[in-house]
Structure 1
Amino acid sequence: MGEGTAGRHLHLTIGEAPTGYPHQRSVPRPQHQFHHEQQHCHQRLQQPGRALPPHLERHPTQEEFMDGRNARHQLPHPPRRKLHLPLPGEGPDRKLLLLSLHRNAPRRRRLRRPQSEQPPPHPRPLPRSRGRLHRSHRRLVQQGPQDPAAHLRHGSHPGASPNGVLINGESHRAGEADDGSRKPLFTMKPDKVYNYRICNVGLRNPLNFRIQDHPLKLVEMDGSHTVQNVYESLDIHVGQCFSVLVTANQPVKRYYMVASSRFTKYDLSAVALIAYEAAPAEAPSAELPPSPVGWAWSLNQFRSFRWNLTASAARPNPQGSYHYGGIEITRTIKIANTAGTVDGKLRYAVNGVSFVHPSDSTPLKLAEYYGVADKVFKYDVIGDEPPATDDRNNIKLDVVVINGTFRNFVEIVFENHEKGVQSWHVDGYSFFAVGMDVGKWSPKSRKNYNLLDAVSRHTIQVYPKSWSAILLTLDNAGMWNVRSNAWERHYLGQQFYISVVSPARSLRDEYSLPDISLRCGIIKDLPTPPPYTI
């Protein structure tokens, strides 16, 4: 932005309207200190993305124990029992990636972020003002199961597909009755630049985002600054967040921003109204920018994403000796997702095994921390290679924990043998999304990896009959969840854990178990292990 240019940071969440599904995740109140009285079964706290500046980043284990998905650290809370947890200020995080945000937006408060005395260089001029948006919600629900989780546990198919798209909790169609009195979602001043952060918090489908007559300059994804390429539209997969700069340099009137489903047999879309200041109260043109066709276009767009190596970020020095492109790979893990049945019930599997929690409810991390992991689960029940054939009728149920070696440099290849697009999330790490292509992966595929400026991120999509490859260093000790971002898939077993143990038992690598942690299962009455030392 030039001299005198003002702007605002504006958050935008898009996702499908569920047909009877529950909240995808619960939303904690993002404050320094919050008081939570648990009335239901579980409390789950989401971790932030790992690509944060050092002064905004929590210690790995503090982050791990506060994330309910990580080995179910947050045990079931007894009714009417109060729990106090400190939450430090955080930067951009995955709390925005919550479907529940659509329903709880009016109560949401902005995070208070600590500021360094001398902030590091920024890759783009900062707006002079910040916008804080409170979102309303209009829920679209058709006939559906009253308890979808029980519906899935009984072996039934997830049922009807999502029946609409929501933009910040609202769903409108272009051309519907509008006399110009509808209030715009955002208002822009002419010749100013605005930073929109778009998050796909849907249950299942990728969405394409675009704005009438306004190009999108991509500047950030999943917490990493990107090379500032300009796009007419962006495919945003489930669980992903993009930041774009939009310049208000078009005629002063009203425009539509559009979100539409991708790679589906049915077409779902929604529009939201944006307006220039002092624009006439007239409905925008009903002629919307077209959505791209096919997933080859989306694959090529992924290949255009590049990390901004000149921007400030918490990452290895690109000119130093520890650049990811020059590190020897010590282990390759291939992950293949399948869908099938077990005892006539629908299950989703990873390398032929569908994840289930231990029968005695002992959290995996606590079993390992107390030294009784062998009584709760076995390591490496899946191999580093998927089965030669996808046998839908031979899926096994088990606790899936991969034994990782601390500080090893690992290559994980996600293979998608199914017809739908997959989206994966890795807890506890940011990884380098280095490659993606059709067909099956082989060692020869590495010659097409981006080993210079792949974006550091925590979600990755896998197209039908294709593969995606990521590289990461297992330098964050803990028990970390790798899961499908599709709600029904990870609920029915498309997930696993990676155990990363620091042999030093040092506070430099991992905190000791917090005193407020609840104990259950076989470790409930065991003596607490000695704390970690420096």
Structure 2
Amino acid sequence: MSSKKIISVALVMCLWAGTLAEDPYLFFEWKVEYGNISPLGVPQQGILINGQFPGPMINCTSNNNIVVNVFNHLDEPFLLTWSGVQQRKNSWQDGTLGTMCPIMPGRNYTYKFQVKDQIGSYFYYPTTALHKAAGGMGMLRIQSRELIPVPFDTPAEEFDVLLGDWYNKNHKALKATLDGGRSIGLPDGIQINGNSGKVGDADAKPIFTMEASKTYRYRVCNVGLRTSVNFRFQGHSMKLVEVEGSHTVQNEYDSLDLHVGQCLSVLVTADQEPKDYYLVASSRFSKKQLQSVVIINYANGKAPASPELPPPPPNNTVGVAWSINQFRSFRWNLTSSAARPNPQGSYHYGKINITRTLKLANSRYQVGGKLKFGINGVSHVDGKTPLKLVEYFGVAEKVFQYNLVKDEVSPKEENKVTEAPSVVNATFRNFVEIIFENEEKSIQTWHLDGHSFFGVAVEAGKWTPEKRKNYNLLDAVSRHTIQVYPKSWAAVLTTLDNAGMWSLRSMMQERAYLGQQLYLSVLSPERSLRDEYSLPETQQLCGIIQNLPKPAPYV
């Protein structure tokens, strides 16, 4: 055989082997429909996925390809987002109204994305209307690959806990309230995996069972609309092992604050008397104190849970200081092996020069007598055509203007508000500092799609450049949400290395719906497949680009 033929055969074999080595695919088919639920004991219309609330769990492994075919049987357009899942080069599948056309009633759409270089605990939820107030959410686990050691022994079992505030009003009634210019007000209670209970409820059934002496992993997410919660296990301590996709230094806690949109994992060892125990969740930093319990029992344990519950942390200014100190105790486990997102900033982020600082202040306004929220004087408005699509088709100027949100709002503009689609032009691969400032009396939670960032500081008062000396530049947790306490600020650092159009928004659903969000347009100068995927062939088109010729795909 000639040398040329040998080379050709070798090349074909390499390509064939590469095809066989493609990461595994997981396929799901989901039917989204209305159904009766009663998380607080009051029957109401909920949103079920395959008849379930919470919805089906996705259990996958780092680098798996996920394919979810969603059939919309509601009477309204519908979208799901995959909160915290960094869809590398693929904002087309992000599931927000700025990136995708919604799935119309009676239609279906197939999401296709890869959980690239990630591990950890996440959840999915609806972004359309106020559908999150009716359900439609579920857990998404990303396991480490077998060859990558995890910094703790394999637990006996993993349990998913989706908890958060809940309203007894129908989601359509809540949306009508917001559309009418009023706040939806305080929630009615707290649900835990679609249940709520009181101490001593004779009809309550356990939601999880543990065997004595074994250790279990609890993945816990706050899927509520507006309320921070504190959760704790009666008679058991918790060892924190993961926060939003990052292994942490394994400190022990009696209780943990969890803010809206955040997820974490704890290990709980069944080392107490075999009987029933309560998992307790209570509201934080809210005028109306809410609490709910569910039962966790030991196998073969027959005694009921004690009526004496572990106390919550303080709920005043002392409680804020307590919560800030807890945030500071969360440290990235630098010795663990794991998939690490944002590779350019993952190891020595404290030594990278900041190229841009964005100071973002949340604000509430009255516009024509109606309640609105905004960022630096701009209240975002969703249009009929997704912002990502008009940018890709080259007609962005017909829909939005870049950079209405300035890097810092001037004092003269603090009380002015512009209602418009809000897109900030960002430079690909820049290392950016974002300061979230909160002058209000309520706590805030912020989330960035498509990226992880390092939460380097949370402090009371006002931010100044001198505050940088207080940053944790060594082992801050890489995460995708950050809380900002009343009259306080938070600082995060991130590398914008994921090309696409990405949502930066309040995780308080009322605020996001009424304008407290923006999109970061992270464009690659090369416009190549190396940096971003082309428009998928099956992508839904709507609005002004529906009948336009498709641009040439990236190469």
Q: TM-score, normalised by structure 1?
A: 0.84
- Find the counterpart in structure 2 of residue 69 from structure 1: 96
Is the contact between residue 332 and residue 412 of structure 1 (CA under 8 Å) also seen in structure 2?
Answer: yes
Is the contact between residue 19 and residue 162 of structure 1 (CA under 8 Å) also seen in structure 2?
Answer: no
> How far has the Cα of 1:333 moved from its partner?
0.2
From 147, 156, 161, give the equivalent of 2:173.
147
- Find the counterpart in structure 2 of residue 13 from structure 1: none
Distance change >3 Å, CA 472–CA 24, structure 1 → 2: farther
Is the contact between residue 426 and residue 480 of structure 1 (CA under 8 Å) also seen in structure 2?
Answer: yes
Distance change >3 Å, CA 204–CA 104, structure 1 → 2: closer
The amino acid of 1:68's aligned partner reads G
SS at match of 2:411: coil
The separation in 2 between residues aligned to 1:238 and 1:499, in whole angstroms, is 25
From 273, 280, 283, give the equivalent of 1:258.
280
Identity level (%): 49
- Find the counterpart in structure 2 of residue 342 from structure 1: 367
- Find the counterpart in structure 1 of residue 265 from structure 2: 243
From 182, 187, 212, give the equivalent of 1:156.
182
The 5 Å alignment of 1:12-27 reads: none
The separation in 2 between residues aligned to 1:375 and 1:279, in whole angstroms, is 66
From 47, 67, 74, give the equivalent of 2:82.
47
From 363, 371, 381, give the equivalent of 2:394.
371
Distance change >3 Å, CA 508–CA 110, structure 1 → 2: closer
The 5 Å alignment of 1:376-387 reads: 376-387=399-410
Structure 2 residue 552 is the aligned partner of structure 1 residue 530:
yes
> How far has the Cα of 1:80 moved from its partner?
3.5
- Find the counterpart in structure 2 of residue 224 from structure 1: 246
The separation in 2 between residues aligned to 1:354 and 1:114, in whole angstroms, is 38
> How far has the Cα of 1:253 moved from its partner?
2.1
The separation in 2 between residues aligned to 1:276 and 1:493, in whole angstroms, is 47
Is the contact between residue 121 and residue 264 of structure 2 (CA under 8 Å) also seen in structure 1?
Answer: no
Distance change >3 Å, CA 173–CA 292, structure 1 → 2: same
The separation in 1 between residues aligned to 2:467 and 2:113, in whole angstroms, is 43
Is the contact between residue 436 and residue 467 of structure 1 (CA under 8 Å) also seen in structure 2?
Answer: yes
Is the contact between residue 122 and residue 139 of structure 2 (CA under 8 Å) also seen in structure 1?
Answer: no
Structure 2 residue 171 is the aligned partner of structure 1 residue 126:
no
The amino acid of 1:173's aligned partner reads K
The separation in 2 between residues aligned to 1:19 and 1:382, in whole angstroms, is 42
The amino acid of 2:362's aligned partner reads N
Cα shift readout 1:284-340 (whole Å, capped 9, x = no counterpart): 211111111121100010011100011122338999996100000000000000111
The 5 Å alignment of 1:471-482 reads: 471-482=493-504
The separation in 1 between residues aligned to 2:301 and 2:502, in whole angstroms, is 50
The amino acid of 1:366's aligned partner reads L
- Find the counterpart in structure 1 of residue 306 from structure 2: 285
Structure 2 residue 336 is the aligned partner of structure 1 residue 311:
yes
- Find the counterpart in structure 1 of residue 10 from structure 2: none
The amino acid of 1:192's aligned partner reads K
> How far has the Cα of 1:441 moved from its partner?
0.4
More displaced stretch, 249-258 vs 401-410:
249-258
Distance change >3 Å, CA 402–CA 21, structure 1 → 2: farther
The amino acid of 1:83's aligned partner reads Y
> How far has the Cα of 1:469 moved from its partner?
0.3
> How far has the Cα of 1:45 moved from its partner?
2.7
More displaced stretch, 321-330 vs 224-233:
321-330
From 25, 38, 43, give the equivalent of 2:72.
38
When the two chains are superposed, the root-mean-square deviation of aligned CA atoms in Å is: 3.3
The separation in 2 between residues aligned to 1:427 and 1:316, in whole angstroms, is 13
> How far has the Cα of 1:252 moved from its partner?
2.0
> How far has the Cα of 1:34 moved from its partner?
4.3
Is the contact between residue 447 and residue 507 of structure 2 (CA under 8 Å) also seen in structure 1?
Answer: yes
The amino acid of 1:94's aligned partner reads Y
The separation in 2 between residues aligned to 1:28 and 1:68, in whole angstroms, is 17
The separation in 2 between residues aligned to 1:478 and 1:195, in whole angstroms, is 34
The separation in 2 between residues aligned to 1:228 and 1:513, in whole angstroms, is 42
Cα shift readout 1:152-187 (whole Å, capped 9, x = no counterpart): 11212223x11111111111112x342xx6432222
Distance change >3 Å, CA 411–CA 85, structure 1 → 2: closer
> How far has the Cα of 1:94 moved from its partner?
3.2
> How far has the Cα of 1:83 moved from its partner?
3.4
Is the contact between residue 49 and residue 458 of structure 1 (CA under 8 Å) also seen in structure 2?
Answer: yes
SS at match of 2:286: coil
SS at match of 1:367: helix
The amino acid of 1:402's aligned partner reads V
Distance change >3 Å, CA 184–CA 398, structure 1 → 2: same
- Find the counterpart in structure 1 of residue 320 from structure 2: 295
SS at match of 1:301: helix
SS at match of 1:258: strand
SS at match of 1:464: coil
Distance change >3 Å, CA 430–CA 496, structure 1 → 2: same
The amino acid of 1:300's aligned partner reads N
The separation in 2 between residues aligned to 1:212 and 1:109, in whole angstroms, is 24
From 442, 458, 461, give the equivalent of 2:480.
458
Distance change >3 Å, CA 499–CA 87, structure 1 → 2: closer
Cα shift readout 1:471-499 (whole Å, capped 9, x = no counterpart): 00010000100111111100000000110
Cα shift readout 1:96-127 (whole Å, capped 9, x = no counterpart): 5679698568xx7987x7985x5211111113
Is the contact between residue 433 and residue 457 of structure 1 (CA under 8 Å) also seen in structure 2?
Answer: yes
Is the contact between residue 204 and residue 486 of structure 1 (CA under 8 Å) also seen in structure 2?
Answer: yes
From 91, 95, 98, give the equivalent of 2:123.
95
Q: What residue ranges of structure 2 are gaps of 5+ in the alignment?
A: 1-38, 59-65
- Find the counterpart in structure 2 of residue 55 from structure 1: none
Is the contact between residue 349 and residue 473 of structure 2 (CA under 8 Å) also seen in structure 1?
Answer: yes
Higher relative contact order (CA 8 A, sep 6+): 1
Is the contact between residue 325 and residue 451 of structure 1 (CA under 8 Å) also seen in structure 2?
Answer: yes
The separation in 2 between residues aligned to 1:206 and 1:499, in whole angstroms, is 30
> How far has the Cα of 1:130 moved from its partner?
3.8
Q: TM-score, normalised by structure 2?
A: 0.81
More displaced stretch, 381-390 vs 243-252:
381-390
Structure 2 residue 532 is the aligned partner of structure 1 residue 510:
yes
- Find the counterpart in structure 1 of residue 193 from structure 2: 168
Is the contact between residue 157 and residue 217 of structure 2 (CA under 8 Å) also seen in structure 1?
Answer: no
The separation in 2 between residues aligned to 1:130 and 1:206, in whole angstroms, is 27
Q: Size of the alignment, in residue pairs?
A: 495
Cα shift readout 1:16-72 (whole Å, capped 9, x = no counterpart): 969999879988866754443334443323235357xxxxxx5431xx111221624
Is the contact between residue 82 and residue 94 of structure 2 (CA under 8 Å) also seen in structure 1?
Answer: yes
SS at match of 2:339: coil
Is the contact between residue 357 and residue 435 of structure 2 (CA under 8 Å) also seen in structure 1?
Answer: yes
The separation in 2 between residues aligned to 1:21 and 1:467, in whole angstroms, is 38
More displaced stretch, 23-32 vs 439-448:
23-32
The amino acid of 2:154's aligned partner reads L
> How far has the Cα of 1:389 moved from its partner?
6.0
SS at match of 2:527: coil
Is the contact between residue 429 and residue 476 of structure 1 (CA under 8 Å) also seen in structure 2?
Answer: yes
More strand by share: 2
Distance change >3 Å, CA 134–CA 357, structure 1 → 2: closer
More displaced stretch, 518-527 vs 218-227:
518-527
Distance change >3 Å, CA 342–CA 307, structure 1 → 2: same
